[in-house]
A and B are shown apart, each in its own frame.
Chain A
Amino acid sequence: MTNFLQLVVVGLSSGFAYALVGIGMVLIHRTTGIVNFAQGAFAVMGGLVTATLVDDVPTFLAGLLAVLLVAAVGGAMGFVALGRRGRTTLLASLIITLGLALLTSAVHLLVFTDVPRTYPRISATSWDVGGVTVDPQYVLIACVSLASALLLTFVLRRTIVGNALVACSDSRRAAELVGLSVRSLGVLSFAVSAALGALAGLLIIPLIPLTYDSDVSIAVNGFAAAAFGGLDSIRGALAGGLVLGIAENLVIGYIDPQYQLAIGLVIMLMIISWRSRHEVAT
């Protein structure tokens, strides 16, 4: 039982990170209709930049700088991915973000080489809760992830900018008709999602070292989390990330670490094909 709980606790920590990546995907998909493949690249960039900066500046400042940098890069990518007005289809935008993810990993390889990077956790000692080891880093990830989800939900519901983003997701054409700049809002949603992705990366990298090519599995897991709620629900992405994180970690513990990603993906495939059966053909 303790073993099981331990696996669940570790799984929750990566689950919260997937959830952050997934929430970013949901935000972009709601505002622009684009599924952003580069979401994994944001996480890797956030992690790698922080791990490099911690040598020179305090950890908190390093993280903050990384988030700001990635948000700026994300906004720029959003501008490219939104493509040319009326000319770029949503599927074309997906391929563009795939291209941007490839370009980013090329830059990562050039700048950070292919050595896995990491930096120390917030505390070297961990807590013992009834036989289960709880690393303070897990708690940090959970808090940041939950706080981000709550803050984002609050912003979307209660602020003007948030309402404008929701308006875009309801109908882009109607949002344009009432005078909103759908394009700038799209860029904004990319920047915010990039910041969320960067947070996920910089929080998980002390536990799981990242390399330039970690972005694919992060993007796929993030998509799986987002797809859990049909790509449109923040709560769904949060739940999806946690389910995925726990399931993958149980696979590591009880079956074979080799199949961690594979089983996660099989679960995702089953969920999305089950969902699609209940959707009306569009």
Chain B
Amino acid sequence: MGLSAMVAIGLSLLMGFAGQVSLGQGAFYALGAYAAGLLSVPKELFANGLGLDPLLALAAAPLLTATVAAVVGVPLLRLRGHYLAFATLALHLILLSVIFGEERLTGGQTGLIGIPALEVGGRTITGNLHTAVVWALVVVCFVIAQNLVRSRAGRGLQAIATSEASAAAAGVDVASYKLRLFVLAAGFAGLAGGLYTYLLLYLSPDAFTLLISIEFVVMVAVGGLGSVSGAVLGAVVVTLLQYYLQKFGTRQELLGLDLPIQTPTVARIGVYGLIFVLVMLFFPRGLLPAFTGALRRLGRR
């Protein structure tokens, strides 16, 4: 939940403030996870592991992800609108085929096992402690994002979202601002991915399907474009929704009808699809902002 919130904060900055649609944020999440995993797996367990201290690997994960984002961002961000959306989607698909294809490097379909647990000062960070660490880092990301929004750069980015040409005319360095934000959002996703690695201590490509990239966009759409706190709320709501759909879908029957085994997936992609259509048609500012707005209007009566 906290992990998704971290990615969603970055994506909401990218989509809401700078108006850049990324359908491939899951790629950076996966990249962070695999970076942390490969750096810390001991050589004896996995031939390409580096066996570094997990803490060091965790610190390196967002940095590596941000570096990759900086490199691919230069050509990608030259694209606008539809092209950027498809290009980021393509990025995720390309990364997935590398994960599956380069078995010796990534463990391929079988995944990556034997990742050591995160230890700080002799204490192993698992379970509740891990959750606490994640949320503490969510707060850090949140503060960074809020500061950015209120800064000169934040105003520049909002100008870009309205019109790139007029922002450029007003003296905003469009390309560099977009790239820096793209790198920051990728860094957040990379950090979340690294933390995910030390939650499960096992990586499988099945955890990073295209659906997660779509899920992050759903979170931002629910929480409201252009609101950092909305992104966190969206992540919480969608994760809970996902949990209840899973519970509901695994039931044997509903109202006397037998449910087929595919029900959880059907419910998940169906609900996401519905959210996209409804939000874009009727609540372009996001589901939750529309909901609280309606409550406020009711309260005033």
Cβ contacts under 8 Å, A99 to chain B: 272-277, 280
Cβ contacts under 8 Å, B56 to chain A: none
Scan residues 14-39 of chain A and give those whose CB is less than 8 A from a CB of chain B: 35
B85 at the binding interface (Cβ < 8 Å) = yes
Partner of A268, one of B90, B97, B284: B90
Residue of B76, B273, B279 with most chain A CB atoms under a 10 A cut-off:
B273
B262 at the binding interface (Cβ < 8 Å) = yes
In contact, B78 and A276 (Cβ under 8 angstroms): yes
Scan residues 210-236 of chain A and give those whose CB is less than 8 A from a CB of chain B: 216-217, 220, 223, 227, 231
When C-beta atoms are compared, the residue in chain A nearest to B94 turns out to be A262
In contact, B280 and A262 (Cβ under 8 angstroms): no
Cβ contacts under 8 Å, B284 to chain A: 87-88, 92
Interface locus among B40-48, B263-271, B287-295: B263-271
A76 at the binding interface (Cβ < 8 Å) = no
In contact, B281 and A80 (Cβ under 8 angstroms): yes
**Interface size (A, Cβ < 8 Å)?**
48
A110 at the binding interface (Cβ < 8 Å) = yes
* Whole-angstrom distance between the Cβ of A232 and the nearest chain B Cβ: 12
* Whole-angstrom distance between the Cβ of A38 and the nearest chain B Cβ: 10
A96 at the binding interface (Cβ < 8 Å) = yes
| Complex Cα–Cα for A55 and B120 (A) | 63
With A110-B262, A258-B97 known as contacts, the answer to whether A265 contacts B83 (CB < 8 A) is no
* Whole-angstrom distance between the Cβ of A53 and the nearest chain B Cβ: 21
Cβ contacts under 8 Å, B81 to chain A: 90-91, 94
| Complex Cα–Cα for A216 and B211 (A) | 11
23 A-B residue pairs with CB within 8 Å: A80-B277, A83-B280, A87-B284, A88-B284, A94-B21, A94-B82, A96-B277, A96-B280, A98-B23, A102-B272, A102-B273, A103-B273, A103-B274, A220-B89, A259-B101, A262-B94, A262-B97, A262-B98, A265-B90, A265-B93, A272-B79, A273-B87, A276-B79
Known contacts A91-B82, A102-B273, A103-B269, then 11 further A-B pairs from the complex at CB < 8 Å, ordered by chain A residue: A35-B82, A80-B281, A95-B280, A104-B273, A106-B266, A109-B262, A109-B269, A216-B93, A262-B97, A262-B101, A272-B83
Give A contacts to B, CB under 8 Å.
35, 80, 83-84, 87-88, 90-96, 98-107, 109-110, 113-114, 216-217, 220, 223, 227, 231, 256, 258-259, 261-262, 265-266, 268-269, 272-273, 276-277, 281-282
